[in-house]
Amino acid sequence: MSKLVIGVAAGRKYDNYARWMNQSPDLELVKLSYEEDNLSKVTGCKGILLTGGEDVHPRHFGRAGYVDQFRLDDIDEARDAFELKVLATAHRKRMPILGICRGMQIANVFLGGTLIPDIVTFGRSNHTKLEEGKDRSHEIWLREETRLGDIARTIRGEVNSAHHQAIDLLGEGLSMNCVSPDGVIEGAEVKDPDEYPFLMLVQWHPERMTPQNSPFSSGLRDAFVSAARKYR
């Protein structure tokens, strides 16, 4: 049986994503990281999963001063540089991409978008983890006639939340597909599926959602894997 190779960006909680993805015996996950210097592995993949983690350095969207202004101290510039190269290869080849949390943010930056450095400072609700370390949860409102809407088959849903940054201006070719009640963009996707068949970005963490059979968890994963199977 030939393997369906999915590239997964390395990060602190890589194993969570690997467990979430490993639901089919024909899947082979390739851990992509600057430590292993294995950018060449991207060309052998059928899809790319961009995972959560550190803040994207704001110099990549022309706001280097945000580091001091907002005291951003959880940054890995080597990871940024590597994953922007991963995105350049995957995007050029129109490879299916699923971005989660930081993955959503770096993909948006790659496409020319910008980020809110701290959503509470910018007048939005707190989306970070609760004091006891558990994810928050909140509602999202979905736009109709979007790929996410087709996956979820609903216009409202509940997702987990553990982030302090978010998309500000959307990158080129992206459109918002869902938003939290306080106006934070919680999901984005490619505007023209004929131009790019699958590019889905979400701010929540489907890999650790409860329940896992939610369309916002397993539904996303299954849609991503299905797109990877169709990739040529």
Q: Give the active site residue among 83, 186, 189, 207.
A: 207
From the list 60, 101, 163, 186, the catalytic residue is: 101
Has 205 been annotated as catalytic? yes
Q: Please state whether the peptide bond connecting residue 197 to the residue before it is cis, i.e. omega within 30 degrees of 0.
A: no
DSSP string, 21-38: H--STTEEEEEE-TTTT-
Q: Indicate which residue of 60, 163, 164, 205 is catalytic.
A: 205
Nearest partner of 125 among 133, 136, 114, judged by Cα: 136
Say whether 45 is catalytic: no
Question: H or E segment at 80?
Answer: helix 77-92
**Has 101 been annotated as catalytic?**
yes
SS3 211: coil
* Residues 78 and 34: beta-carbon distance below 8 Å: yes
Q: Token pair for residue 206?
A: 């489907």
Residues with a catalytic annotation lie at 101, 205, 207
